Chain A
Amino acid sequence: MSWIDSLFGPAGLMPHGVCFLMRSDLIALHVIADGLIAFAYFSIPVTLLHFARKRKDIPFKHVLALFAAFILLCGMTHIFGIWTIWRPVYYLEGVVKIVTAIVSVVTAIVLIPLVPQALSMRSHSELEAINRKLEAEVQRRADAELQLRRTVNKLTQSNAELERFAYIASHDLQAPLRTIGSFTGLLGKRYSESLDDGGREYLEFIQHGVTDMRTLINDLLELSRVNSAEPKIEAVDTGDVVEHVVEQLHADIESSGATVEFGELPTVDADARSLQQVFLNLIGNGMKFQPEGQAPHVRVRAWRVGDGWQFSVQDNGIGMLPEDRDQIFLVFKRLHTADEYPGTGIGLSLVQKLVQKRGGEIRVDSAPGQGSTFVFDIPDSLPEESTLATPGQASPEAVLV
């Protein structure tokens, strides 16, 4: 007899039912019990398999597989419990038991080193606590962001108000100043004869004061306009702009014997009025800050750098110390007294704002007695919308009806 025959009920062995004396109630009891256990054992791996397929992220999948096999095999041993009632397949049953034993021992061994790993895993309550902490952190950041946005809004608003105030104040200052200037002028024209030298000198002081204040107001108006007025970007021939500025400075050029030199200048996308202001201030400064008796020479050039144009306005003037180079762009910052060189200290600050608004930068190369070269750039691309005038805000001009 082959060993296979001995697996399926070797001769001489009694089926297990004999022990039960083939009593039907006893057999039924065992069959039902073993059947239910087997059914439950078979269903557990199916459930586990289903769970593992749905939750792809579960850890220790190989242990889960071992465990499933172990339970499946346990189920099998109960099937054999039923089978052996009628057939004495004790060898086969023994083999299944051995396999079950091996699988259970392996599972038991594999399980041991997993304990510390499983312990180090976050428990559900721990995860909840972390989650709560994260939520609190998210809330805290949202609050901070809201606060920041509120502050920015407040600042933007107060900035706009300040600009409007500056504009209205300077605009309204002009009316009384016009009256003072006009009547001082009339007084000088009509009654100058009846005044003595002292009186005429006083009148002159008043008129100088009026002129200075008018310049200051105009400069302030320009400065407040930089942020509020919407730039009108168009193709502007910088050659035309410089030519126009030279015409504007005609009187000063004549009186000082200045030369303003410029060759081919490019056409760029910019706000013509702003560009005009930039060149007017830079060329005007180049002519103004000169040593006594020297004929000013101002040279305007342009060249390509990267993706934009770079312009330079170079003069043969008095120049400045290296430590003053950044200072000069501060509003109201002046390096000289009004007697030496008149001015409001607004010009270069205005120029810098205008250049930056167009997305460029300005710097100066200078040394005392060596003249100054102002270099600024105009990139081909326009700056982001945010650096332009804030939309939805009325320009001061619109407010002043």
Chain B
Amino acid sequence: MAQAHILLVEDNPADVRLTQEILRETSLDFELAVARDGEQAMAMLRRQGAHQDATVPDLVLLDLNLPRKDGREVLAEVKQDPSLRSIPIIVLSTSKAESDVRTCYDLHANCYLTKPVDLNHFAEMVQMIERFWFNLALLPPKSRSEIAAE
């Protein structure tokens, strides 16, 4: 399959690096774009400002607790935007609180995962994401304009 474009919305540099490293261990041919806060994530998704050349991602990995605009707001905005709402969003949070899980699914998150504490479990989770979302699931086809932009 073509190169997978993943947008990681995560403010912790260690988590960004870890995700990158673990993704690299999978067989996936990927490009990882990183947004460090909610506002940047929205600008990248809408290709605004400095991000006019950004690629529309195949999948978004979204942390919930972010500076400026938090993950729930990003989720709500994306899922209300007809041009963005088909992009699968995987919420990746440390919170196991029922209220968070419910809120995210109410806001039409495609999946809610908690960040495993253990490295091996984290690696397993990333492999599962790769296998499910990029090998098993069919992702929405990209529109012409999105492909032209790539």
Contacts and interface: CB of A to CB of B under 8 A. Distances in A.
Interface stretch (B12-20, B29-37, B75-83, B141-149): B12-20
A359 interface: no
Interface string B46-72: 000000000000000000000000000
The A contact surface, by secondary structure, is: helix
A327 B133 CA distance: 52
B115 interface: yes
A177 interface: yes
Interface of A: 171, 174-175, 177-179, 181-183, 185-186, 214, 397-398, 400-401
B124 interface: no
B35 to A, nearest CB: 19
Contacts of B119: 181-182, 185-186
B110 to A, nearest CB: 21
B98 interface: yes
A380 B15 CA distance: 48
A182 B17 CA distance: 11
B18 A182 contact: yes
Contact of B15 (A171, A179, A181, A397): A179
B14 A177 contact: no
Nearest to B100: A401
Most chain A CB inside 10 Å of its own CB: which residue of B12, B14, B100, B122:
B14
A49 to B, nearest CB: 78
A183 B18 contact: yes
B117 A397 contact: no
B18 A397 contact: no
Contacts of A182: 14, 18, 119, 122
A185 B122 CA distance: 11
A401 B14 contact: no
Contacts of A400: 95, 97
Given A174-B94, A179-B12, 19 more contacts: A171-B94, A175-B12, A175-B94, A178-B94, A178-B117, A181-B117, A181-B119, A182-B122, A185-B118, A185-B119, A185-B120, A186-B18, A186-B21, A397-B97, A398-B97, A398-B99, A400-B95, A401-B97, A401-B99
Instruction: Sort A-B residue pairs by CB-CB distance and give the 7 closest, nearest first.
Output: A185-B119, A397-B97, A179-B14, A182-B119, A178-B117, A182-B18, A214-B117
A397 B119 CA distance: 25
Nearest to A218: B117
B21 A174 contact: no
A186 B24 CA distance: 12
B12 A181 contact: no
Contact of B14 (A183, A185, A397, A398): A183
Contacts of B96: 397
Contact of A397 (B12, B99, B115): B99
A171 B115 CA distance: 13
B72 to A, nearest CB: 9
A179 to B, nearest CB: 4
Nearest to B25: A189
A181 B12 CA distance: 15
A192 to B, nearest CB: 14
A6 to B, nearest CB: 112
A33 B94 CA distance: 108
A87 to B, nearest CB: 108
Contacts of B97: 397-398, 400-401
Contacts of B98: 397
Nearest to B18: A182
Nearest to B118: A181
Contacts of B118: 181, 185
Contacts of B94: 171, 174-175, 178
30 contacts: A171-B94, A174-B94, A174-B117, A175-B12, A175-B94, A177-B117, A179-B14, A179-B15, A179-B18, A181-B117, A181-B118, A181-B119, A182-B14, A182-B18, A183-B14, A183-B18, A185-B118, A185-B120, A186-B21, A186-B119, A214-B117, A397-B96, A397-B97, A397-B98, A397-B99, A398-B99, A400-B95, A401-B97, A401-B99, A401-B100
